Every structure is written in structure tokens, then in C-alpha cells.
């Protein structure tokens, strides 16, 4: 009798597992495309007007992917990378930072969060995120006002905006420490692409 | 709880008309049984969220009800609960992947609540009370009817909370300077809005009877 119970559960588990595995494989390309499209849209929002494809010219520096924005002449007008605030109210918050080449904030978007609706999720408000434009590593104390910083918190939420503010501060410090390395990597990639483009034209 | 209703459901007739009347209205998961409160409180901050959550739950209900009905004679009584949960979990994972692929924005918004459909007791309730005792076609219809009833409740509550909490309908602000009513956006607001909705529905239903 008990053998029948075990066999039944094993079969149910195997069939259900197989169904999930097949479906996961089938949807993987579509999920990848959806993520790429979402990233593309977010990059367009955080970078200054550009003429290139930041996703295709991305470079990998010290554990982060850097997406460069270039004008029609190939000059660097901005760059973007992902920063994570691990200490949100309900888990990690993923941010996409857009910087001008001098290391100041151009724009910030929230990619992923699980913060409380109506309270913590106000970090996605365009007017609040807009307040970061032009701020740099040294002219801002990257903490909310309530905790002695320069960033506004909002009614009912301190932990979430504080996590975001500190994450941006850390990301700017990281950028300052690696600016030279990033510039070299981007230049190398830019020369390579230019060469390929000329080669293709001939 | 589900056992008592299970008895009632077994005795009931299985014509499509009766199944839909029960699923959408007379035995509505939210309004009559007060099951599935977790997604109800969690995601009904807007009408759109409610509709999407309802649609995802409906898909799982239809799939799990149909499959459980198909295999109901093959599964020994003693292990039926883990077997049903495994089947339900498979459908939830499929819906989760499908939304990630083709409704990426909504998948991000509903987040953890999609995987949590597994533990929505309404789904287990339908498996135990209906699908394990009826044929495939009535079970399929039952899943659809109960899902629609659940969606209706979620959308209705989302509508009320969005209107009162944010002064908006389907994401369109009705007033330029609406003071956000946090009470309605947060979970307590869901309880309050639900209480008033239930009171109104009971009064309406009593008159009907």
C-alpha cells in the first residue's frame, strides 16, 4: 500500500517537474527579450540624448556593467550602471543610475523593489528622483534629512529613501574610485567599434 | 471550513448555469467564503492590479481543476493533498514564467504575489471540494467561474481603494490635487473597504432572498 503512495507522489512530482522544465525552456528567450527591452527603456530614461546603442557598447569594469551614451561625433555624454540598495524595508532595491561624464547624477530610475505600496514605493516618484539631478559625491550628504543628510524623506517612510540615498552615495564613490579605469575601458571599446564600422564600410 | 462547503458543493447541481451562479455570486471566494485574503489585501491597490491578479489566479484554477479532475481516481486518498499542491504549484510556476515573458511590467508589479498563488486556499479548496469529485468539464467550468468571481472581487476592491486612496480610476487621476488617503492604500484600507463592500452586498443579497 505505502509503495503505491510513494510511486504516485513520485509520478506526480516528475510530471509536474517536467512540465515546468519544458515551459521554463520555452519562455526563456521571451523573458530575456522582455528584460532587454525593459533595460533599453530604462537606459533611454536615465541617459542624456545619445546617438549610439548603450547596450551594445557596454563594458565590464570591477564587477559592474557600464553603459555609455555617445553623441553623433562619438563623444561620451554620459554613462549608466546598476546600483543595489540591499537594505530596503522589504529587501533589495535595484537602481539604474545615469551619470554625466564628470560623475554627477543625470537621472535615476528604480528597476526593482518590493517596498510598501503608498509608503516606501514613493521612491519611484519622478519628482523625488528628479531631485538628484546635478548632485555629486562631495556636494551632498547621501542620507535622508531625518538622519542628518541632504535627501528628502517622505511621510511614513524613512528606511526606504535612506537605503536609496546611501546606495547612490556608495555608487558615486565607487565611480570616483574607478573613473580612470572606466574611461580607459570605454575608449578601448569605442576605438574597436570605430575600426569595425570602417572595416564594414569598405 | 472547506469541508462544510465541500459537502454543499457536492450536493449542488453541475449545470454550467448553476456552476457560474455559485462561483461568481452565491459562493464567491471573497464575498461569501472570505478565502484568499492574502492577495486581496496585498495587491488590490488599483483596479488594474486586481484584474491581473484575478486573471493569473483564474488560469491556475482552470488548469489545476481540470488536471485534478482527470487524475482524481488515480490518486490515493492519503496522498491527495501533496499531489494536489504539486499540481497547483506547477501551474503557478507556468503562469509566473508566462507573465515574466509576456507581461513583464505587471509581473514586476505583482512580484511575489504570483508565486504565492500556490498557497491561496481558494484553489486548494476547489480541488478538494469540487474537482476531486466531478468530471473534467464541470471542473473546468467551476475553475473558470470561481476565478471570475475572485477576479470580480479583486477588481471591485481595487477600484474602491484606487478611487478613495489615490483619487484615480484605472490610473487616471480624477482630481489634480488629491490628498492621498494612505489609509486606503495600506492593508488596513483593504479591510475597511472590504467590510463596507461586504455589508452592502449582504444587504443586497438579503433583499434578493
Contact B183, B66 (CB under 8 A): no
Q: Chain A: residue nearest B49 by CA?
A: A117
Cα gap B68→B74, rounded to integer Å = 10
Say which residue, A25 or B172, is predicted with more confidence: A25
Q: Tell if the CB–CB gap between A27 and B97 is shorter than 8 Å.
A: yes
Site from A6, A27, A92 to mutate, B interface, most B CB atoms within 10 angstroms = A27
Contact A169, A104 (CB under 8 A): no
- pLDDT higher than 70, residue B70: yes
- pLDDT higher than 80, residue A133: yes
Contact A175, A99 (CB under 8 A): yes
Residues 43-102 of B with CB under 8 A from A: 45, 71, 74-76, 78-79, 82-83, 86-87, 89-90, 93-94, 97-98, 100-102
B173 and chain A in contact, CB less than 8 A: no
pLDDT for residue B9: 46
Average pLDDT over residues B169-174: 86
A179 Cβ partners below 8 Å, 6+ apart? Answer: A103
pLDDT for residue B204: 82
Give the closest residue to A161 by CA, choosing from A171, A149, A174, A172.
A149
Cα gap B14→B1, rounded to integer Å = 21
pLDDT for residue B12: 62
Give the closest residue to A82 by CA, choosing from A144, A163, A175, A160.
A175
Cα gap B94→B20, rounded to integer Å = 26
- pLDDT higher than 50, residue B3: no
SS3 call for A68: strand
Q: Tell if the CB–CB gap between B90 and A9 is shorter than 8 Å.
A: no
Say which residue, A91 or B4, is predicted with more confidence: A91
pLDDT for residue B176: 78
Residue with cell 547596450: A55
Give the closest residue to A143 by CA, choosing from A126, A128, A160.
A160
Domain ranges of chain A: 47-201
Q: Chain B: residue nearest A29 by CA?
A: B101
Residues 42-81 of A with CB under 8 A from B: none
pLDDT for residue A200: 55
pLDDT tens for A151-166 read 988 877 899 999 999 9
Under the banding of pLDDT at 50, 70 and 90, the label for residue B52 is very high
- pLDDT higher than 70, residue B1: no
Average pLDDT over residues B12-36: 87
CA B161, B166, B172, B176 dihedral sign is positive
- pLDDT higher than 60, residue B8: no
Amino acid at each position: 500500500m505505502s509503495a503505491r503512495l510513494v510511486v504516485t507522489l513520485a509520478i506526480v512530482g516528475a510530471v509536474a517537474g517536467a512540465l515546468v522544465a519544458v515551459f521554463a525552456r520555452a519562455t526563456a528567450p521571451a523573458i530575456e527579450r522582455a528584460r532587454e527591452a525593459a533595460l533599453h527603456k530604462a537606459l533611454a530614461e536615465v541617459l542624456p540624448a545619445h546617438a549610439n546603442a548603450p547596450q551594445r557598447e557596454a563594458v565590464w569594469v570591477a564587477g559592474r556593467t557600464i553603459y555609455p551614451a555617445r553623441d553623433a561625433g562619438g563623444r561620451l555624454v554620459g554613462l549608466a550602471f546598476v546600483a543595489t540598495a540591499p537594505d530596503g524595508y522589504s529587501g533589495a532595491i535595484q537602481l539604474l543610475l545615469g551619470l554625466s561624464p564628470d560623475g554627477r547624477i543625470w537621472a535615476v530610475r528604480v528597476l526593482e523593489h518590493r517596498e510598501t505600496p503608498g509608503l516606501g514605493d514613493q521612491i519611484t516618484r519622478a519628482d523625488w528622483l528628479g531631485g538628484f539631478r546635478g548632485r555629486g559625491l562631495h556636494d551632498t550628504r547621501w542620507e535622508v534629512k531625518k538622519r542628518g543628510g541632504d535627501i528628502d524623506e517622505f511621510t511614513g517612510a524613512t528606511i526606504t529613501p535612506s537605503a536609496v540615498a546611501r546606495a547612490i552615495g556608495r555608487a558615486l564613490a565607487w565611480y570616483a574610485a574607478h573613473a580612470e579605469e572606466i574611461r580607459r575601458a570605454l575608449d578601448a571599446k569605442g576605438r574597436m567599434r570605430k575600426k569595425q564600422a570602417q572595416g564594414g564600410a569598405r | 471550513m472547506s469541508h462544510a462547503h465541500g459537502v454543499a458543493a457536492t450536493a449542488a447541481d453541475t449545470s454550467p448555469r448553476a456552476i457560474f451562479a455559485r462561483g461568481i455570486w452565491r459562493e464567491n471566494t471573497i464575498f461569501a467564503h472570505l478565502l484568499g485574503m492574502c492577495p486581496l489585501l496585498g495587491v488590490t491597490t488599483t483596479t488594474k492590479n486586481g484584474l491581473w491578479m484575478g486573471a493569473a489566479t483564474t488560469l491556475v484554477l482552470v488548469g489545476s481543476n481540470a488536471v485534478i479532475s482527470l487524475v482524481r481516481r488515480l490518486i490515493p486518498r492519503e496522498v491527495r493533498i501533496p499531489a494536489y499542491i504539486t499540481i497547483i504549484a506547477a501551474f503557478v510556476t507556468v503562469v509566473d514564467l508566462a507573465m515574466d515573458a509576456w507581461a513583464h511590467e505587471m509581473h514586476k508589479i505583482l512580484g511575489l504575489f504570483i508565486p504565492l498563488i500556490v498557497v491561496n486556499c481558494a484553489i486548494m479548496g476547489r480541488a478538494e471540494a469540487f474537482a476531486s469529485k466531478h468530471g473534467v468539464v464541470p471542473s473546468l467550468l467551476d475553475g473558470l467561474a470561481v476565478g471570475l468571481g475572485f477576479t470580480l472581487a479583486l477588481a471591485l476592491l481595487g477600484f474602491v481603494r484606487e478611487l478613495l486612496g489615490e483619487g484615480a480610476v484605472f490610473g487616471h487621476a480624477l482630481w489634480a490635487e488629491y490628498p492621498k488617503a494612505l489609509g486606503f492604500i495600506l492593508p488596513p484600507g483593504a479591510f475597511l473597504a472590504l467590510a463596507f463592500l461586504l455589508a452592502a452586498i449582504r444587504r443586497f443579497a438579503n433583499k434578493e432572498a
